[in-house]
Chain A
Amino acid sequence: MNIVVIVKLVPDLVEEIEISESGTSLDMEWLRLIINEFDDHALEQAILIKEETGANVTVISPELEGVDDILYTASARGADRIIKLLGDFENNSNCHALAKALSTLTSDLQPDLVLTGVQANDDLDGSVGPLLAEYLGYPYVGYVAGLKIENGKSRIKKEYPGGLVAEMEASLPALIGIQAAESPPRYVAISKVRQAMKTADLEEIEVSELQASGGPIVERMYQPETGDRATMIDGDEEEVAARLIEIFKELGVL
């Protein structure tokens, strides 16, 4: 069985996010990029299926700062093939562009299952998963937190609010948008990753022209006003606790 996992790098929200001078995009210079948490889960899910069924796992990621590390780590986690897509993804891309860039390569790999994170924090023009699914002509189900392959079909658990879960069946090949893997992404010792850097073959594939279309017409990006911020209570834990008790009394909960 062939599984393809699409992994994207997204802005790390630990850092301050700056807007570029044009005012209509993020300032890439200061941005730290990390693996999209949902894509990390998608990779983990793929490895879990591999461990159960002996599937073949290929991981593809677009060229952005830090992608080599992500791919080698994927290899150390158990991916069989790691592919970097070359192109100006930093400046000239969005989800539609990435999905289009991925479509030919992915379909050539003839996967039975394509996994990717259900969303990413910088998704402005949609999400890569469902867009790619359509370009491939595969059925798409998202918000999946449980996936088993049985009799050539995928048995999935789709999450709804309030803890409600729908059990669905999707025939293969299919593209699934992962919300959570069945267990959290495993840790890989750095020495293993360094080993992978020496032994794994990181393939590079050029992508023909990227076109960042299919999204909105952005006039302005800005940081929301923090005008309506919380009334901060100063002091140490003792002082804060005392004030809180006052507030609780005022509220009538104490």
Chain B
Amino acid sequence: MNQEIYVVIEHLQGKVSDISYIMLSAAQNLANSINGKVVAILLGQNAQILANDLLADNLIYIDHPELTEFTSVAYQDTLTNLIQANQPRVIIFGNTSIGSDVASVLSARLGLPMINACHHFENSQFVSQICGGKIMVEGIIPEPTAIITMIPGGYKPEEGKSDHPPETMSFDPPPIEDLPVKLIGYLEPDTGDVDISNEKILVSVGRGIQTEDNLELATELAEVLGATVCASRPVVDQGWLPTSRMVGKSGKIVKPKLYLAMGISGAPEHVEGITDSEVIVAINTDPTAPIFDIATYGAEVDLLDLAEILVEKIEDE
């Protein structure tokens, strides 16, 4: 039986995303348990260079002008063809704006069982995370072929990197024309602002900040600490901070020395963005908030009161 593990590589504007390397590392882990082979799948145009540091046993490269940048239908149709031809054991997608646009569609189209939100593999079994991280699901990857979407957290991107490209084979794409979904262009995020992914100290606010007005406290605290203010999605959605300050799955991945999470519950979409922090301090009045599971230090006090007192004390120093 075919034990090939396909990993669909994600890239945007000429850059391979971290999730791709995480998936490759995961695939390697699974391959060891089932005696399988990791095959990276790269779709693009003149994009072979992107394969340079992918850690895999093989690479299938599919070239077509319509695949230059990601669009859902082009990827769906191309991969349908590929999977039907080769019948791999598993196809791994990222649980992302790219992977999730394709995975379920193929599951329905090809009648392949699907496993969502996989965090890691344990021997030959999958372990997924659902309900905001509150529930773990362990089980068997159905045979003969299954689709899996992967979330970060179980493996490090470095583990999926190599110093040379894998052995490459090409595959002819099917005719791709008259696509119902077309890319018009990209809207760049406002770059005038500071890039929080490079900042060393971050004061991050979540729903717990309650009102736009309370942001002042966070700003003051950031000032005395020499830090930058950032936020989880709900705060940005309200328009209280620009998207460039958003941390998490749809925002930036940060790697500060100190991440001060104030009034943030710790939903997986946010946690995805902060696991590379050296020290995470979580302030939340809810003792069951999942943020406390990944934070280094935590306190169940009122964040507004704490911020005020911290500012005072630090100024006194």
Contacts and interface: CB of A to CB of B under 8 A. Distances in A.
Given A130-B108, A163-B243, A217 B139 contact: yes
Given A164-B188, A164-B189, A168-B182, A223 B135 contact: yes
A161 B19 CA distance: 11
- Overall SS of chain B's interface: mixed
A155 B182 CA distance: 10
Contacts of A236: 301
Interface string B278-317: 1111110000100011111111111001100110011001
A167 B184 contact: yes
B78 interface: no
B113 A215 contact: yes
B174 interface: no
Contact of B131 (A11, A95, A219): A11
B14 interface: no
B12 to A, nearest CB: 6
Interface stretch (A1-9, A73-81, A188-196, A237-245): A237-245
Contact of B300 (A96, A127, A232): A232
A119 to B, nearest CB: 7
A99 B105 CA distance: 11
Contact of B309 (A166, A171, A238): A238
A122 B136 contact: no
A245 B314 contact: yes
Contacts of A233: 297-299
Contact of B185 (A167, A177, A240): A167
A90 B253 CA distance: 37
B141 interface: yes
Contacts of A165: 186-187, 189
A44 B103 CA distance: 26
A132 B47 CA distance: 32
Contacts of A223: 134-136
- Overall SS of chain A's interface: mixed
B252 A162 contact: yes
A158 interface: yes
Interface in B65-99: 69-73, 96-98
Interface string B197-231: 10011000000000000000000000001110000
Interface of B: 12-13, 17, 69-73, 96-98, 100-101, 103-105, 107-109, 111, 113-117, 125-126, 128-142, 146-147, 149, 180-190, 197, 200-201, 225-227, 237-238, 243-244, 246, 249-253, 257-258, 278-283, 288, 292-302, 305-306, 309-310, 313-314, 317
Interface of A: 11, 13, 16-17, 19, 26, 95-96, 99, 118-119, 121-127, 129-131, 133-135, 139-143, 155, 157-171, 174, 177, 179-180, 184, 213-224, 226, 228-234, 236-238, 240-242, 244-245, 247-248, 251-254
Given A129-B104, A221-B137, A232-B300, 11 more contacts: A121-B130, A161-B96, A166-B186, A174-B181, A180-B237, A213-B113, A215-B114, A220-B138, A223-B135, A223-B136, A226-B293
16 contacts: A13-B134, A124-B128, A125-B107, A126-B147, A134-B109, A159-B97, A161-B251, A161-B253, A166-B186, A221-B137, A223-B136, A230-B280, A238-B309, A251-B279, A252-B257, A254-B314
